[in-house]
Amino acid sequence: MVPHDACQYFGQRYDVQAVGTISLSDAASPNPAQIAELRDLVREGSSARTAISDPMGAAFAPGPEHYEQTLRAIAADYAQCFGD
């Protein structure tokens, strides 16, 4: 599961397909509680590993390295799901 359909490009590049996107019927962004609830449902219903990723890179300072840092963090989150 990915938070936004735009993540499909990242998944396609690394041959990792998402099974769905997190979206609400009104197209509003899910809040942290809703994401945590989805994570818990996945954990209870399967042996899949989960990671919460920040596609906006809020942890990184704005600047020329922001985009690369964000992509690397997303890659690390994917790796966590695979146990790498």
Which residue ranges form the domains of the chain, and what is each CATH number?
Answer: 7-82 (3.40.50.1980)
Supply the pTM of this predicted model.
Answer: 0.63
Count of alpha carbons within 13 angstroms of residue 55, beta-carbon side: 11
Q: Per the structure block, which two tokens stand in for 17? A: 């397909």
Radius of gyration of the chain (CA): 13
The residue among 59, 37, 51 whose CA lies nearest residue 79 is: 51
pLDDT tens per residue, the chain (84 residues)?
A: 776 777 777 778 878 777 777 765 556 777 788 778 877 887 888 887 878 788 889 999 999 999 999 999 988 988 888 775
Using DSSP, state whether 21 is helix, strand or coil: strand
Helix (H, G, I), strand (E, B) or coil at 50: coil
Whole-number Å distance between alpha carbons of 35 and 39: 6
